[in-house]
Structure 1
């Protein structure tokens, strides 16, 4: 190997063989490039030798997308610089490298303080204006704040506040990606719509994307083809993010009920109604079942970040967390009062309700929500010590047309019949909850896996979205191929071949 920065894989790099999916792999080399030029050189060398490349960021994915099956690991964690800022039409746009972590981005935006070495005059002028302006933030809020921007864009992850702020794609103005030839391609938003018959793929003389076949909306932009594609068509190395004004007031309210049906009724009422008052609105509605609360209770015994909230009695069947954003405290208070009234009518405990506001207290609430997957992963790791073949086993299905209680009752009954412990948490909007299995042995693991296959097929038939924000990766590629029409799969392969002719980028994801 001749390219600078490529290192033989050694035991000290062992942590880079896995991600949060609990799957592990193998590799022969690894690199930590700091510039897109370095990435291009590495890709060219690997493509020239037909060596597979697995792209990594924060390794927070749960579908095994960042797990190498062989070949080279291209880890982008050292591409962690913020490159510039511009102000256009009253909006701010921040240019970042793909390895910038979400928690670091949030911190620097909050403090309005950046390392500006190498910034041009336009960026420095925009920063001067930015410091005198309102507070701004980037709306996507995935649960795992150590995720990198590149990974968030690769899976189109949006997190709990997508209920108010919508799809992550709309907050991405431009990307720079490296294709399978090692060529850099800049893709700005607004240059081409995918439905434009004159637009063909970069590096292709004739191949055009069929948006109808891929079920892309009429207004889909060319950039949207790459966002959520899990690096199969190219490696995102830079992105320009569209910022939005941070709400002056943020409240978090946690509701608890002793009866599960009361929580189901409350959730369904929330799904049907629209709660807005002046500038205030609901930003997030999150559900956690009893098993999830039990696991968080165990984690709280050793996790300092969870100590700021009162203990949750074991009598509660679950929790619904609601976050409110707005400019005026009075507007938020009005919505909160309506929610308290509705929760009481639905049978939630009016004597035990969490109501917090301010940045520090909201972080406590979000830490509690983050403890849901964290505590489940800890429990799963215990089973993996007995059998390393066990991996993360969870759903990512959105079934917006169903009744919330009916859907969760179906999940629960099927899972109980399956005989495997499970926990359910996730987004009430769209009925996008995650059923997490906690098998005690490989036999139970296979039973849970078969049940998820059943749910995935049924959901696909009923018009649900079966891969919503976690991606496909390696763990779910069989499901992906099972529920995706062969014409669509063939078209995806053609796009892949046009962008990555030697098939080195993230080999083993989506397809064998």
Structure 2
């Protein structure tokens, strides 16, 4: 085990992509094996914060004291039978996808930050642009080795329900508490996942580093598609794009069956023109779509189905882009990922701090959500960019206030939170709560919900030592 105590060696672990400052820790502990970590924790009494790759946006990995456990040495990767892969929590999404290229297998979740660790992906239940069809990280986790903050270890497999005790290697058991709280019925990464009859595994995935430490992970894979049909559609009017989404959903996977439906508003397109100069000048918004093609023999039929469907809609079809090969497919993904990169660069140059939303609502409120966003943003003279996962009713609105506009931007953000929660939505659909969104999470779940979630926390970490300051 490596232990770092010098401030200059601790400093890199006190940062992440949230730019949250003020973290501190006594030391960084880097175990070589899970047994080494378990033995260490059995004799430890200080608060413990788990450090992933530092790509998180909610400051979950930044401690306010105690010690940091970095899992960077737990980075094995290997095949685990047919359609399975075994990985250490430090393996990155890029490394996993590279490992899978020659195997014929495919791991669908594709968060924007490809250098994120898979352990971090589990901690936040990460998703990405393909979640509309493929779902989220939780849907692909089959098994984990898990260690509690007191050093107790268990092998947790898919199928063990919360109606049964959770048993550890030392023979001790934990019973799931009797609570009333339920998670929202939409894409959600806020708080502990709670549904009747769920697996224990589902509780720990998305728990923001507060319930247990993943030291070994088995993921389910699917056969790799031969190709993808993809395109970027441009629209003269916002409403034409919005109205397309319920029509696509009403087909229920028949005729066309996209895995990605990604939105770009006018302000996003304006910024993207610096890298993609052939964006049509008349376009107000754009929609990136992608559909997997399992067998190449079906490619032309799927493309034809898309053309047929789109020809009946109010789209600038002649100006829209359709992939002609792998380079175009990659370019379209770059188009999507360029938006947050451009915004971050712009903010850095201007010395500006953004306020970014990560909210989602159930399907029935989709059009109301879009109209509400348009009216709210037009009523306030703030710069902003809106983009994200239209198919999941989950958009990222980046408010970009000048220093004098910070209070106004915060009021707009709060107004959005209130309305989304009124519709039964979530304050975080993919980034998690961490230390930065606790106020909104408390409003989302209410006092009774917080009491229920604290009962779960107490069962697994009665001294509140793991991930202290995150979520609750």
TM-score for both structures, normalised by structure 2:
0.89
The residue number in structure 2 matching 1:322 is: 289
Taking the TM superposition and a 5 Å limit, the aligned residue runs for 1:355-366 are 355-356=322-323, 358-366=325-333
Supply the distance in 1 between the matched residues of 2:181 and 2:284 (Cα, whole angstroms).
43
1:346 aligns with 2:313: yes
Write out per-residue CA displacement over residues 455-487 of structure 1, whole angstroms, 9 at most, x where no aligned residue.
Answer: 223222222233222111111001111121322
Deviation at 1:41, TM superposition (A): 4.5
Query: Post-superposition, which runs of at least 4 consecutive aligned residues in structure 1 deviate over 6 A?
Result: none
Distance 1:147 1:282, change over 3 A: same
The residue number in structure 2 matching 1:396 is: 359
The residue number in structure 1 matching 2:452 is: 491
Supply the distance in 1 between the matched residues of 2:344 and 2:32 (Cα, whole angstroms).
31
The residue number in structure 1 matching 2:60 is: 65
1:247 aligns with 2:228: no
The residue number in structure 2 matching 1:260 is: 238
1:294 to 256, 267, 270: 270
Deviation at 1:286, TM superposition (A): 0.8
The residue number in structure 1 matching 2:189 is: none
1:35 to 26, 33, 36: 33
Deviation at 1:294, TM superposition (A): 2.4
The residue number in structure 1 matching 2:96 is: 105
The residue number in structure 1 matching 2:190 is: none
2:347 to 365, 380, 396: 380
Q: Which runs of 5+ in 2 are unaligned?
A: 184-193
1:420 aligns with 2:386: no
The residue number in structure 2 matching 1:336 is: 303
Distance 1:392 1:274, change over 3 A: same
Taking the TM superposition and a 5 Å limit, the aligned residue runs for 1:67-466 are 67-82=62-77, 84-87=78-81, 91-112=82-103, 135-190=104-159, 192-194=160-162, 196=163, 198-199=164-165, 207-210=175-178, 212-215=180-183, 216-277=194-255, 281-298=257-274, 300=275, 311-329=278-296, 331-356=298-323, 358-383=325-350, 385=351, 390=353, 392-404=355-367, 406-441=368-403, 443-466=404-427
The residue number in structure 2 matching 1:507 is: 468
Supply the distance in 2 between the matched residues of 1:244 and 1:462 (Cα, whole angstroms).
34
Is the Cα contact below 8 Å between 1:143 and 1:159 reproduced in 2? Answer: yes
Supply the distance in 2 between the matched residues of 1:391 and 1:74 (Cα, whole angstroms).
30
Deviation at 1:381, TM superposition (A): 2.8
Supply the distance in 2 between the matched residues of 1:448 and 1:40 (Cα, whole angstroms).
45
Is the Cα contact below 8 Å between 1:137 and 1:243 reproduced in 2? Answer: yes
Supply the distance in 2 between the matched residues of 1:314 and 1:469 (Cα, whole angstroms).
32
Supply the distance in 2 between the matched residues of 1:332 and 1:310 (Cα, whole angstroms).
29
Supply the distance in 2 between the matched residues of 1:491 and 1:407 (Cα, whole angstroms).
29
The residue number in structure 1 matching 2:22 is: 25
Supply the distance in 1 between the matched residues of 2:97 and 2:66 (Cα, whole angstroms).
34
Distance 1:428 1:243, change over 3 A: same
Supply the distance in 1 between the matched residues of 2:240 and 2:271 (Cα, whole angstroms).
22
The residue number in structure 2 matching 1:117 is: none
SS in 1 for 2:260: strand
Is the Cα contact below 8 Å between 1:399 and 1:432 reproduced in 2? Answer: no
Is the Cα contact below 8 Å between 1:9 and 1:30 reproduced in 2? Answer: no
Write out per-residue CA displacement over residues 35-59 of structure 1, whole angstroms, 9 at most, x where no aligned residue.
Answer: 22343345445x42x2x32222122
Distance 1:317 1:263, change over 3 A: same
Is the Cα contact below 8 Å between 2:89 and 2:214 reproduced in 1? Answer: yes
Supply the distance in 2 between the matched residues of 1:484 and 1:201 (Cα, whole angstroms).
29
Supply the distance in 1 between the matched residues of 2:355 and 2:234 (Cα, whole angstroms).
28
Supply the distance in 2 between the matched residues of 1:251 and 1:9 (Cα, whole angstroms).
52
Q: Which runs of 5+ in 1 are unaligned?
A: 113-134, 301-308
SS in 2 for 1:485: helix
Distance 1:459 1:64, change over 3 A: same
SS in 2 for 1:376: helix
Is the Cα contact below 8 Å between 2:56 and 2:431 reproduced in 1? Answer: yes
The residue number in structure 2 matching 1:118 is: none
Query: Alignment length, in residue pairs?
Result: 459
Distance 1:41 1:167, change over 3 A: same
Supply the distance in 2 between the matched residues of 1:250 and 1:271 (Cα, whole angstroms).
19
Supply the distance in 1 between the matched residues of 2:174 and 2:80 (Cα, whole angstroms).
35
The farther-off stretch of 460-469 and 470-479 is: 460-469
The residue number in structure 1 matching 2:187 is: none
Is the Cα contact below 8 Å between 1:43 and 1:182 reproduced in 2? Answer: yes
Is the Cα contact below 8 Å between 2:14 and 2:62 reproduced in 1? Answer: yes
SS in 1 for 2:318: coil
Deviation at 1:222, TM superposition (A): 1.4
The residue number in structure 2 matching 1:304 is: none
Distance 1:75 1:377, change over 3 A: farther
The residue number in structure 1 matching 2:191 is: none
Distance 1:249 1:391, change over 3 A: closer
SS in 2 for 1:276: coil
